Structures are given as structure tokens and as C-alpha cells.
Structure 1
Amino acid sequence: MSNRAEEAVNYFTQYPVYEKLFQLFRKKYESLGKVSGTVKIEQFTKEELNHLSGFLKRSVHHLQENPTVSLRLFERRLQETRFQVADLHELLELYFQEPILWKQQLRIDEQELRRQKFEQRKIRYPQLSDWLSLLEAKNEKHRWILKQLDENETILKTLHLAITEKPSDLERISVYAQRIAGDPHAFDGSTVLGRCLIHYLYHLSNQQEGYPTSSEAINALLLTFGVLRDDISNFISIANIQATYNGGIHPVFAAASQQQSVLNVPLREILRLDGCHLSQGKDVFVVENSGVFSAILDDVPTMNLICTHGQIRIAGWKMLDLLALAGCRIHYSGDFDPEGLQMAQRILERYPKQAVLWRMSPTDYTSSLPSVRLNQERLSKLNSIRHVQLIDLAKQIRDKKLAGYQEGLLTHLIKDSKRYSE
């Protein structure tokens, strides 16, 4: 800073009115990016106006009648002084002892810094490069992740290690988390790291279905990566289904079929199977409710039967996949409610050549004597029903606004079971 410039700063620092005025000038310059426009001084006191009056060569009365100061006028008066300051912008930077920048230029600079930051992250964590590009696009849905990454870079480091050191076979999530992060709960769904892992895996998988929010959807996604979140309580109930294991007949499945006993098979055991087949025939029947499952077996103990216990979990899908692979025909019977139709549609779409509906026609809906009122939130789920075999049924349920249940068709289901088991 030259002696004259320093003299200028010292001069304006003596009078508090210039601090007040220069703050207004600064805001105006940051807004416009140039020395232009005016600022309002109607809140200035008469004493402050006295100081400005001499410098601006305007009477106090004039300033009171016209309470604005032009930046260009101030700059002209500045250049008439003995101070060696080129312009008002230079004076403001000297006065505040920092660069005074146009806000738009600041945004451009911030964007460039952010771009460089992402490029550095991509180089440092190459396995996360595509995911980071997705986040960089600044989708509103990703804002929470960006905030977490900005606050804690360790998340990226741990996530990158989790991807590069992914399970070679199947690994339980607590063991995996302990191995990667030294904390068995590091990938729990309630943690930031756990949520980021799911987000990464979802976009890596290019799934067509919506973002996983249910426990089953998250479990299925993790399983594609070789991570087991729950392989014991995730189970399915079966009757008269055989299995192969290590190249031979599975003795537990065989004994259960021989004794006409029900097996509750956890995902842990299903994942160890080589394949599945039926004790007799090629038709397997799937019901949603355990009461219906048990009642059918009371009358027809030889029925090839599966119970999903509500929405199909991973254990159920894995078992059905094995049966479909063996060429079995899958008959599905669910409740006459939006959730039951959604599950029926998933089965029809997953096994288009092998799945058929069992007692799920509009006539069967009427026969079930529907009586449970459906609220609008549940009825809106019927908007997702698009399969040709379910459209008429969905319309009928939407019109009646009533749900029907399998228990109302139990006699028909048992009758069908006897016919197929003869």
C-alpha cells in the first residue's frame, strides 16, 4: 500500500459515518459487480450527514431531501482528493483489508472449487467415481449425503474400503462391519455409513424398482452384494417340498415330506441348497396366511404348499426361484386387498411363464364376502396394479372400497387342494 493510499484509509477510518457508508457500498458492489447505483442514507444522523456533506460537496439540506448517495459520485470526489486511490473498489478493498467480489463471481468460484473437490475425491476413491458423479449433479434427494460428506470425509474412506474389500462369498453384515470399520454396527440402517452404503449399492445395481425403503427390499439389495443382514428370522414355511444339497437329497427335507411335517426354513438354509423339487407332481401352491396354510394341510397333508406369512421375504423369493428353475408351476393365492394384489403382480411378473393365480378372480373376491373398509391411502396402492390378469379385480376392489381375505375362501381352497393331490 502506498503512503497516500494508507493516508486515505486512515482518514476514512477516523469517521464512523464512512464505516456505515462503505458497508452499503460494499453490498451494492457485491450485488452489481461494478461501481454503479446508489445507496440510501435516510437513517443517517445529522452529524453523519455533516461529515458527508463536505466530501460530497452537497449541502446537508440536499442530502436530507434526497437521501441517496451515488457510488459514481463518491468515486469522482475521491479522485479529486490528494489520495492516490484509483477507484472506489480499490478503496473498499483497502478499507476492509480483503477482496470485495461480485456475488455471481463468488458463486462461479465456489462451483469451480466444488468441482475440483469432487475430482480429487474421484481420484482418491476410484471405486466410488460413478457414485460421486451422481452426487455432484446436486439432485435434491442427494443433499443429505453431500452434507454428511462435507462434514466427515471419513465416510468416503470407509465406504471405499467397504467396496474394495467386499465379501468374496456371503458375509453377515455385523461381521462385515467389524472387518471394515471395526464396529459391528457401522452399517446399521440408522447410521450415516449404513444409509450411504445402501444408496451406493442401489445406484450401482441399476434397479428399475423404486429406492428400497422396506426391510425386505434392503435385505435383497445387500444380498446381491454378498452381505446378509438377517438369515435366521427371515424364513418361509413349506410342506412336501424336497431339496438337494451337496449333490444329494437333503435328509431334513426328505424326512419332513415323509412324515408330512411342516418346515420353517430360514434363509440361511435355503442359500445352502443346490435345488428344490416337489414330492409329487409339478404344481406348488403359495398362500399368504399361516392359518389358511395350516387348515389346508389339516385336510390335505400331501399338498405341495408354501406359506409366505404376508409379504414375500427374501427366503420366499429364493425358494420360489429354485422351484421355478426346477420347472414347477406356481399357483398363488393372496388376500383381496391392495397389498395382496401387489404381491400377486410381483409373482406374475417374476415368473411370467410359470405363475398362475389361484382363486383370485373378481368372482372369488365376491365369494370371500369382503367387509373390511379400505381407506384412501391403501386404495391408492391399487394404482400400481397394471397386470392384465389383475386389472378387473383391482377395479372391483376400488369400486367397493372393501377388502376380502383368504379365510373367506377356505372351503374352495381345500376343495382345489384335494383335486390336485388326488
Structure 2
Amino acid sequence: MFSREHLLNELQEEFPLVKDWLLYIRDNSEDTQWVQQLIEDSPKTFEQCVLYLSEGIRLLPTRPVRLSVFSQIITLDANAFLPTTSLGKLWLHVLAETKRVHNNQPIELPKTRKEINTLLKDHHLHREDITDSVTVVNLFAEISSGYHPMWEAAVHSQSVMTVPLRECVKLSAVYPAHEQPIVWVVDNAEVFSRIVDRVPALPMICTQEEWSCSAGEIFDRLIANGAELRFVGDLTPKGIVRAEELLLRYPDRTRTWQMDVETYLKAKDDTTDLTEEDYALLDKHHVDYLACLKDEVRDQGHPGYLITVVDELIKQLNHYYRK
């Protein structure tokens, strides 16, 4: 006679990589009824799914991989891990389990497409590799056969390129097209465009207030090739936190620029007040040399936007990057 309890106990012994998830399933909570039904409908199918789930956890990538490629490796079926399939839904449930801080927390299965994509992205998996992209200017790149002709042509014509993740992962090296080994990471698209207009030789990356995997791939290759990053972000709680995130990721090769009290007081927008969420962000992360800026923003209670002082920024950059 079939025993769900006995099956789950056996699977825990056989597949220790998903043991915590199986323990959660064994508790038979209300939010796992759909899993219980899968077990009841076909114990053998569920057992095969657990094998694939365990292999998926064992082979989780450390670099971006398309979900279909990952699925092909694990199951020999490129569509097996699609979120619309039973295995795909179980896979999301397992990934969601890895995000829990405490075992007594419920597993929150992502519901929207955005939530699903975010959960997959957190584990270096992507349903596609076109929409995730990064915008760059004045950067050379190499592939296994040598200089990348598209990046080289863009440098010579001082053209801005938006490069999808699909192309970023093919690169073996990236470096600035300038004698100074510095690349400027500009977090505001309008500021980026204004700087490109008047400092066309500046090696820059535009992140647009979002850490795309494409940007991460470019950052990693720049750092590996000896470049330094200069983060230029708005003087807002969100901008400061993003600066700290980059500083913590590459502590020895990253600095901020013009993110100080003096610039903040010039860029401050007195017509806009900080929200409760903004104040909470100011308590997030800890990088000592941004502490004074955080304190000033907290005391003043207003955000600061670099577009207000962009002409001054351009004047300083032009001093070092003349045509």
C-alpha cells in the first residue's frame, strides 16, 4: 500500500540536496496541497521530478545560463523546466525554499512573470537573454578569436551601444578605450546622455538604476582586466545604497565620484521630501566613507539629483578627457 510519508522519507535519504524542501512538503501545509496531489497522482513521476530537482541544485550555474539550456542539461528536454510545467513549478518552489531565512517561514511561490524572472535571475537562470542588457560607450572588447569588431567600430565612431546578455557572455575581455584604466558607471540615463554629448571620449556604462546581469558580466571582465570603476549616482537613499552595493562587490576596484556632502547640498531638491522607505534605505549597508553623506541626507530630509549639477560635472570631466 502506498505511503506518502514513506516515499518522502526515502527521497530525503536519497537526495540530501533537497532534504529541507522535502521536509517542508512532508509537513503537508495548506500551501503544498498542489504538490501532495502530484504525489498522489503518480508517485513514480514525482520521484523522477525530485531526481531532476536535486540535479538542478547540484548544477546551479555561477554565470548566466538560459533556462532552456539548463533544462536540456538536466533532463534532455529544453522545455522541462518551463514555469508552466509541473516540474517547472516544482523547480520554482525549490528555488523559493533556498531564499528562506528561517525554516519556520512559509515558502512563497512567485506568482507574476516579474517575480518568476527575479527568482530565476537570483540563481543565474534566464528565460531569455535579449531583454537583459547594458548600455556602454568607449569600451573595447575581445572574444576568443581576438578584438570584437562591433565594439571596436563603436569606439572609433564614438557610438553608444546597448548590448544584450546573449552577447556579453561571449566576451573574454573588456577594457576602456582610454589610457586611464577607469570606467565611469553612470546610474542616471539622462545624466549619461548629457555627458556623452559633451565628453564623447569618456568610457562609460549606463546602469539606469538597475543591476542587470549584462552589467555584471561587463563589470567582472573590466575588473579582471585591471580596470577601476567610478560610480556616479543620484544623491538619494536609493542611489547611495546602489553605490554601496557596487563598493561591496568590488571593494578594491571601485570608488564613488561626486557623492559627497558638498555636491549633495548643491543638488538637493527642497520640493521633494524623503519617504519612510527612503529613511529605511539609509540604514541599509555600511560603507564608512559614505556615512557623512547619509547623515546629511537624513538630516536634510530631501533627495539630491545630479542632473541639477550636470554642467559642473561635465566641466570637471572635460578637464581630464579633452577631445
TM over 0.5: yes
Structure 2 counterpart of 1:199, which letter?
A
Secondary structure of 2:135's counterpart equals: strand
Greater RCO (Cα-Cα under 8 Å, separation 6 or more): 2
- 1:246: Cα distance to partner? 1.3
Post-superposition CA distance 1:153-178 (Å, at most 9, x none): 35664253144266899753256558
Q: Identify the residue that residue 119 of structure 1 maps to in structure 2.
A: 9
Structure 1 alignment gaps of length 5 or more: 1-112, 204-210
CA contact (8 A) 1:239 1:304 kept: yes
CA contact (8 A) 2:21 2:94 kept: no
Secondary structure of 1:409's counterpart equals: helix
Q: Identify the residue that residue 250 of structure 1 maps to in structure 2.
A: 148
Compute the RMSD of aligned alpha carbons. Answer: 3.3
Post-superposition CA distance 1:241-300 (Å, at most 9, x none): 001101401110000000000010111111010011111120110111111111101111
Secondary structure of 2:210's counterpart equals: coil
Matched positions, count: 294
Q: Identify the residue that residue 173 of structure 1 maps to in structure 2.
A: 67
Aligned mates of 1:348, 1:290 — CA distance in 2: 20
Structure 2 counterpart of 1:408, which letter?
T
Change (3 A) 1:137 1:377: farther
Answering whether residue 221 of structure 2 is matched by residue 221 of structure 1, we say no
Q: Identify the residue that residue 415 of structure 1 maps to in structure 2.
A: 315
Q: Identify the residue that residue 193 of structure 1 maps to in structure 2.
A: 90
Q: Identify the residue that residue 273 of structure 1 maps to in structure 2.
A: 171
**Identical aligned pairs, as a percentage?**
25
Matches within 5 A, 1:381-400: 381-400=281-300
- 1:421: Cα distance to partner? 1.3
Post-superposition CA distance 1:327-352 (Å, at most 9, x none): 11110011122211111001111111
Change (3 A) 1:145 1:241: farther
Change (3 A) 1:336 1:144: farther
Q: Identify the residue that residue 401 of structure 1 maps to in structure 2.
A: 301
Structure 1 window deviating more from structure 2 (170-179 vs 117-126): it is: 170-179
- The correspondence for 1:337, drawn from 211, 236, 248, is 236
Q: Identify the residue that residue 236 of structure 1 maps to in structure 2.
A: 134
Aligned mates of 2:266, 2:285 — CA distance in 1: 21
Secondary structure of 1:295's counterpart equals: helix
Q: Identify the residue that residue 318 of structure 1 maps to in structure 2.
A: 217
Q: Which is higher, the Rg of structure 1 or of structure 2?
A: 1
CA contact (8 A) 2:261 2:296 kept: yes
- 1:126: Cα distance to partner? 5.0
- The correspondence for 1:305, drawn from 204, 210, 229, is 204
Secondary structure of 1:132's counterpart equals: helix
Answering whether residue 263 of structure 2 is matched by residue 377 of structure 1, we say no
- 1:323: Cα distance to partner? 0.8
Change (3 A) 1:384 1:246: same
Change (3 A) 1:217 1:359: farther
CA contact (8 A) 1:187 1:197 kept: no
- 1:400: Cα distance to partner? 1.9
Aligned mates of 2:297, 2:109 — CA distance in 1: 27
Aligned mates of 2:9, 2:96 — CA distance in 1: 20
Q: Identify the residue that residue 149 of structure 1 maps to in structure 2.
A: 35
Aligned mates of 2:300, 2:278 — CA distance in 1: 13
Structure 2 counterpart of 1:150, which letter?
Q
Q: Identify the residue that residue 186 of structure 2 maps to in structure 1.
A: 287
CA contact (8 A) 2:81 2:91 kept: no
Aligned mates of 1:400, 1:114 — CA distance in 2: 60
- The correspondence for 1:261, drawn from 159, 165, 175, is 159
Aligned mates of 2:126, 2:258 — CA distance in 1: 35
CA contact (8 A) 2:68 2:78 kept: no
Change (3 A) 1:180 1:136: same
Aligned mates of 2:256, 2:19 — CA distance in 1: 45
Secondary structure of 1:383's counterpart equals: coil
CA contact (8 A) 1:219 1:314 kept: no
Aligned mates of 2:155, 2:261 — CA distance in 1: 35
Secondary structure of 1:390's counterpart equals: helix
- 1:228: Cα distance to partner? 2.5
Greater helix content: 1
CA contact (8 A) 1:161 1:180 kept: no
Aligned mates of 2:4, 2:52 — CA distance in 1: 23
CA contact (8 A) 1:125 1:157 kept: no
Post-superposition CA distance 1:61-102 (Å, at most 9, x none): xxxxxxxxxxxxxxxxxxxxxxxxxxxxxxxxxxxxxxxxxx
CA contact (8 A) 2:191 2:310 kept: yes
- 1:395: Cα distance to partner? 1.7
- 1:367: Cα distance to partner? 1.0
Return the TM-score normalized by structure 2. Answer: 0.78
Secondary structure of 1:389's counterpart equals: helix
Post-superposition CA distance 1:107-138 (Å, at most 9, x none): xxxxxx997554222145455235435x3797
Structure 2 counterpart of 1:274, which letter?
S
Change (3 A) 1:253 1:298: same
- 1:147: Cα distance to partner? 4.5
Post-superposition CA distance 1:161-207 (Å, at most 9, x none): 1442668997532565585585674369xx7425314225557xxxx
